[in-house]
């Protein structure tokens, strides 16, 4: 049997052409449609936060910062004309849950951008997920050495310096004093914690190099509720300066123990705990805060540009007073600010652009002008703040100082 | 020498605080044989109660113990009546562990919702006062806590040894069926005994809130200490828990002040381990523990 091949081929090519045209046109329409909707659909941001569990307070503070930034940026017309939407999911302070959350945000919710959770503990696993999917990872609250040891080029820590360098500014101040008025002896009382202890050790290295003698250097475990025996050991050595490598509860316990033992060093620096404008006076009594040094990136009396507007918007949204604003809220807000700045500079907002752009230049935020090394470690310095007249004030570096440092420290009120 | 004496004073006073907290646990765990993992959480509930009442009324936290004690008693008795009593007697010992742990987590969760996880302190103004005696610092609150714990344990001892209720409790623990046959309302006695054990957390909570900042998660550290104090002191030995608490307080203080704080708590567990190896019933535990 002879097959009419030419007719068959002709018919086949017609069908093929029709299919091809349909396919091309369909995909063209779809592409055009996508392009059109990409410009107008909201820019979706995904964040996992510790709304319950150990970090609940800080997680909630970060949530306030993120949400406030979203509200502010949308009032200004969004980013590149796109409204911003934020999806915040709870990780209950769990490093396992945070991995699930970011994986879901990226693969199921298909958010455009992810930003960081609270704490280095959660930032490390979360940043690995972001890196795996090629997402940028601007994060406000994971500044421990292990975060940067990940060598994740997608990561940007939104604070002025790595957390363990938070005390360097105190060393700068002490060593700026004339040799005759510097402390002669120092004690280091450190929580067994990856941030608190290295921070105090960094100060110790600087002090020892300058000839300030170490008379006490001990680490205590995190379950130490009662600090009186430890502080009695310190008091017996009568150091001029006490450097507390502290987190929160232990900072308060150290102060209570000092008051109870009537031990008042001439300089007292507490790395964390004392930097909380809200909790510190509540835990030890406002009168007893006088003269305690700590370091901060943002606090209500900060002179960083944008602070007044931020405080006003914060109070309008959440009520309360400026003194009640946690620095974590300002840090999370600043993380959002960086997105705005990148879009403004490049006219684009996608992960590759964010990563490439933030690696150069200096970026002004509420927490200072930020710039990073290749793995997201900020290259700036914290401000030295001191409790003076019932509030935190910047006392060093002199250029940003709101008040001269008060030393020796006034006596405890009791 | 000054450091040693100061550490001894600090340790004894801290031991007194823990003895106060362990007094109720001694009754519940040491005598009634219920492993109550919620005792630490009850202490924290009492701390918050005292904190709130102090904020509202301005009354002295030690005075507020009069108000918080019955509240904690009701909470304890209700926990026993509604959650522990329904357990099958055969599995009660094991299941009570789970149930009370659930209660602890539940209380922690509820407190987190109401008070958030912010650290709180009860600050009547004298919480950090110390008397200077021959150059040594003696903290007022801890000293009062020490006296309170002696009083509390004394009352418990008298209650268990000298009253009809005490005999009923001991009879119920030994053999609930026989006790019932002899006219003891063992269900009511169990609830009352548990409530009594929990009611001591009212005083303990007030003191804890005065001496240390606390949040809902503070109970984890407490419960491990309370259970070890009762075990070290000896099950059923009320005086034993005071001695055990003092050993813990003094041991930790001496190691912290004179050596390295990092070993302070570890030292206590070494002591506990040694005591249990050499004397499994604890320092002052009854010889016929199983028959209790």
Q: What is this structure's pTM?
A: 0.81
With CB atoms and an 8 Å threshold, state whether A225 touches B117: no
Contact A229 B139 (CB under 8 A): no
Could you tell me the two tokens for B88? 């099958």
Q: Containing H/E element for B262?
A: none
Check the CA dihedral A153-A154-A158-A162 and report its sign.
negative
Residue A402's alpha-carbon distances to A301, A377, B233, B276, in angstroms, are 9, 27, 57, 60
Residue B103 pLDDT grade (very low, low, confident, very high; cuts 50, 70, 90): very high
Q: What is the mean pLDDT of residues A307-333?
A: 93
pLDDT band at B45; cut points 50, 70, 90:
very high
- Of these ranges, A261-270, B163-172, B256-265, the one predicted with the greatest mean pLDDT is A261-270
Residue among A56, A253, A288 minimizing CB distance to B213: A253
Question: In the prediction, which pLDDT does A361 show?
Answer: 94
Q: Which residues 120-159 on chain A approach chain B with CB closer than 8 angstroms?
A: none
| Residues in chain A closer than 8 A to B123 (CB atoms) | 285
By percentage, how much of chain A surpasses pLDDT 70?
A: 91
pLDDT at A408 over 60: yes
Q: Are A284 and A255 in contact (CB under 8 A)?
A: yes
In this prediction, residue A39 has a pLDDT band, given cuts at 50, 70 and 90, of low
A-contacting residues in B 83-142 (Cβ below 8 Å): 112, 116-121, 123, 127-130, 132, 137, 139
On chain B, the residues whose CB falls within 8 A of the CB of A253 are 212-213
Residue B118's closest chain A neighbor by CA? A57
Query: Is residue B198 pLDDT above 90, yes or no?
Result: yes
B129 closest CB neighbour out of A228, A249, A414: A414
pLDDT digits (tens, 9 = 90+) for A233-276: 999 999 999 999 998 889 999 999 999 999 999 999 999 889 88
Across the interface, whether the CB atoms of A229 and B123 are under 8 A apart is answered no
pLDDT at B77: 94
* Residue in chain A lying closest to B262 (CA): A220
Mutate which of A53, A260, A273, A275 to test chain B, going by most B C-beta atoms within 10 A?
A: A260
Beta-carbon separation of A248 and B261 below 8 A: no
Distance from CA of A350 to the nearest CA of B (A): 37
* Average pLDDT of every residue of chain A: 89
CB contact under 8 A, B139 and A228: yes
Contacts of B128 in chain A (CB under 8 A): 256, 259-260, 285, 288, 412, 414
What residues of chain A lie within 8 A of the CB of B245, using their CB? Answer: none
pLDDT for residue A38 is more than 70: no
pLDDT confidence band for B185 (50 / 70 / 90) = confident
Contacts of B264 in chain A (CB under 8 A): 220-221, 224, 229
Mutation for testing the B interface, residue in A229, A230, A287 having most B CBs under 10 Å: A229
pLDDT tens track for A271-297: 988 988 878 898 888 999 999 999 988
Residue A172 has pLDDT above 80, yes or no: yes
Probe site for chain A from B111, B213, B254, B260 (most A CB atoms < 10 A)? B213
Residue of B203, B207, B223 lying closest to B41 (CA atoms): B223
Q: What is the mean pLDDT of residues A28-47?
A: 66
Choice among A120-129, A159-168, A353-362, B157-166 with the minimum mean pLDDT: B157-166
Q: Are B100 and B36 in contact (CB under 8 A)?
A: yes
Confidence of residue A9 (pLDDT cuts 50, 70, 90): very low
Tell whether A248 is within 8 A of chain B (Cβ): yes
Q: Give the per-residue SS3 of chain A.
A: CCCCHHHHHHHHHHHHHHHHHHHHHHHHHHHHHHHHHHHHCCEEEEEEECCCCCCHHHHHHHHHHHHHHHHHHHHCCCECCECEEEEEEECCCCHHHHHHHHHHHHHCCCCCEEECCECHHHHHHHHHHHHHCCCCEEECECCCHHHHHCCCCCEEECCCECHHHCCHHHHHHHHHCCHHHCCCEEEEEEECCCCHHHHHHHHHHHHHHCCCEEEEEEEECCCCCCCHHHHHHHHHHCCCEEEEECCCHHHHHHHHHHHHCCCCCCEEEECCCCCCCCHHHHHHCHHHHCCCEEEECCCCCCCCCCHHHHHHHHHHHHCCCHHHCCHHHHHHHHHHHHHHHHHHHHCCCCHHHHHHHHCCCCEEECCEEECECCCCCEECCCEEEEEECCEEEEEECHHHCCCCCCCCCCCCCC
B40 vs A: CB within 8 A:
no
CA nearest B14 in A: which residue? A226
Give CA separation, A125 vs A103, A134, B13, B259, in Å.
11, 15, 44, 37
User: Is A52 close to B112, i.e. CB distance below 8 A?
Assistant: yes
Residues of chain A positioned with their CB less than 8 A from the CB of B218: 225
Tokens standing for residue A407: 């030393």
Closest Cβ opposite residue B257 in set A229, A259, A262: A229
For chain A, positions 182-211, list CB contacts with chain B under 8 A: 192
Cross-chain CB nearest to B256 (options A229, A259, A414): A229
Residue A35 has pLDDT above 60, yes or no: no
Cross-chain Cβ contact A262/B217 below 8 Å = no
* Contact at CB, A219 and B261, closer than 8 angstroms: yes
CB < 8 Å from A in window 215-234 of B: 215, 217-218, 221
Residue of A nearest to B250 (CA): A229
Say if A57 is an interface residue toward chain B (CB within 8 Å).
Answer: yes
Chain A to chain B, count of Cβ pairs less than 8 Å apart? 120
Please give the residue that has the higher pLDDT: either A63 or A7.
A63
Provide φ and ψ at B215, rounded to 5°: -140, 175
**In chain B, pLDDT over 90 holds for what percent of residues?**
36
Task: Give B178's DSSP letter.
Answer: H
Neighbours of A187 (CB within 10 A): 24
pLDDT band at B149 (very low <50, low <70, confident <90, very high): confident
Paired tokens of A287? 């009168």
| Residue A5 in this model has a pLDDT that exceeds 80 | no
Note the pLDDT tens digit of each residue in A192-214. 888 889 999 999 999 999 999 99
CB contact under 8 A, B139 and A260: yes
- Mean pLDDT, all residues of chain B: 87
Q: Does A283 touch chain B (CB under 8 A)?
A: yes
Nearest-Cα residue of chain B relative to residue A280: B119
Q: How far apart are CA B44 and CA B37, in angstroms?
A: 13
pLDDT at A411 over 80: yes
Q: Which residues of A touch B3 (CB under 8 A)?
A: 232-233, 236
B262 closest CB neighbour out of A192, A248, A256 = A192
Which B-chain residues 195-214 have CB contacts (< 8 A) with chain A?
A: 211-213
């Amino acid at each position: 049997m002879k097959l009419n091949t030419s007719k068959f081929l002709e018919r086949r090519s017609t069908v093929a052409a029709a299919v091809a045209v349909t396919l091309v046109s369909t995909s063209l329409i779809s592409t055009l449609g996508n392009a059109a909707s990409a410009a107008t659909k909201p820019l979706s941001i995904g964040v996992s936060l510790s709304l319950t569990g150990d970090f609940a307070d800080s997680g909630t503070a970060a949530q306030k910062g993120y949400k406030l930034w979203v509200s502010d940026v949308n009032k200004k017309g969004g980013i590149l004309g796109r409204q911003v939407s934020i999806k915040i999911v709870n990780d209950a302070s769990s490093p396992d849950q945070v991995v699930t959350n970011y994986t879901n945000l990226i693969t199921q919710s298909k958010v455009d951008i992810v930003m960081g959770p609270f704490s280095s503990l959660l930032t490390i696993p979360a940043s690995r997920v972001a890196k795996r999917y090629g997402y940028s990872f601007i994060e406000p609250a994971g500044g421990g050495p292990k975060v940067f040891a990940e060598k994740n080029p997608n990561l940007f820590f939104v604070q002025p310096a790595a957390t363990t360098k938070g005390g360097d500014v105190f060393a700068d101040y002490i060593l700026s004093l004339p040799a005759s008025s510097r402390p002669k002896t120092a004690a280091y009382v450190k929580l067994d914690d990856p941030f608190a202890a290295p921070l105090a050790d960094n100060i110790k290295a600087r002090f020892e190099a300058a000839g300030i003698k170490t008379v006490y250097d001990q680490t205590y475990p995190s379950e130490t509720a009662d600090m009186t025996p430890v502080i009695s050991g310190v008091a017996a050595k009568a150091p001029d300066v006490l450097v507390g490598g502290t987190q929160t509860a232990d900072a308060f316990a150290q102060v209570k123990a000092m008051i109870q033992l009537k031990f008042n060093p001439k300089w007292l620096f507490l790395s964390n705990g004392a930097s909380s404008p809200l909790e510190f006076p509540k835990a030890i009594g406002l009168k007893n805060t006088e003269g305690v040094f700590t370091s901060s990136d943002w606090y209500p009396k900060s002179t960083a540009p944008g602070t007044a507007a931020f405080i006003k918007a914060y109070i309008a949204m959440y009520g309360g007073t400026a003194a009640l604003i946690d620095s974590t809220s300002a840090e999370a807000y600043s993380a959002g600010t960086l997105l705005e700045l990148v879009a403004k500079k490049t006219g684009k907002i996608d992960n590759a652009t964010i990563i490439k752009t933030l690696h150069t230049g200096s970026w002004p935020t509420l927490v200072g002008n930020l710039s990073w090394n290749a793995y997201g470690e900020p290259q700036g310095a914290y401000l030295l703040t001191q409790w003076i007249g019932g509030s935190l004030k910047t006392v060093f570096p002199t250029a940003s100082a709101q008040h001269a440092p008060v030393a020796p420290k006034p006596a405890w009120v009791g | 020498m000054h450091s040693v004496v100061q550490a001894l004073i600090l340790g004894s006073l801290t031991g007194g605080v823990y003895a106060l907290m362990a007094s109720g646990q001694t009754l519940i765990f040491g005598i009634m044989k219920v492993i109550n993992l919620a005792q630490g959480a009850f202490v924290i509930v009492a701390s918050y109660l005292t904190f709130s009442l102090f904020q509202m009324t301005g009354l002295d936290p030690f005075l507020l113990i009069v108000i918080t004690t019955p509240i904690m008693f009701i909470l304890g008795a209700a926990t026993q009546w509604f959650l522990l009593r329904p357990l099958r007697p055969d599995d009660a010992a094991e299941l009570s562990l789970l149930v009370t742990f659930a209660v602890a987590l539940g209380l922690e969760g509820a407190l987190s919702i109401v008070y958030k996880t912010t650290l709180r302190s009860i600050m009547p103004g004298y919480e950090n006062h110390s008397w200077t005696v021959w150059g040594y610092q003696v903290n007022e609150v801890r000293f009062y806590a020490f006296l309170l714990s002696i009083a509390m344990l004394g009352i418990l001892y008298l209650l268990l040894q000298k009253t009809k209720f005490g005999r009923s409790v001991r009879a119920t623990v030994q053999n609930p069926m026989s006790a019932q046959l002899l006219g003891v309302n063992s269900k009511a006695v169990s609830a009352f005994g548990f409530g009594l054990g929990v009611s001591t957390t009212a005083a303990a909570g007030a003191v804890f809130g005065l001496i240390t900042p606390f949040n809902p998660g503070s109970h984890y550290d407490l419960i491990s200490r309370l259970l070890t104090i009762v075990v070290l002191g000896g099950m059923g030995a009320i005086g034993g828990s005071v001695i055990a608490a003092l050993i813990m307080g003094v041991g930790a203080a001496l190691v912290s002040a004179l050596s390295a704080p990092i070993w302070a708590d570890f030292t206590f567990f070494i002591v506990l381990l040694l005591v249990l190896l050499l004397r499994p019933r604890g320092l002052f535990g009854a010889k016929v523990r199983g028959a209790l």
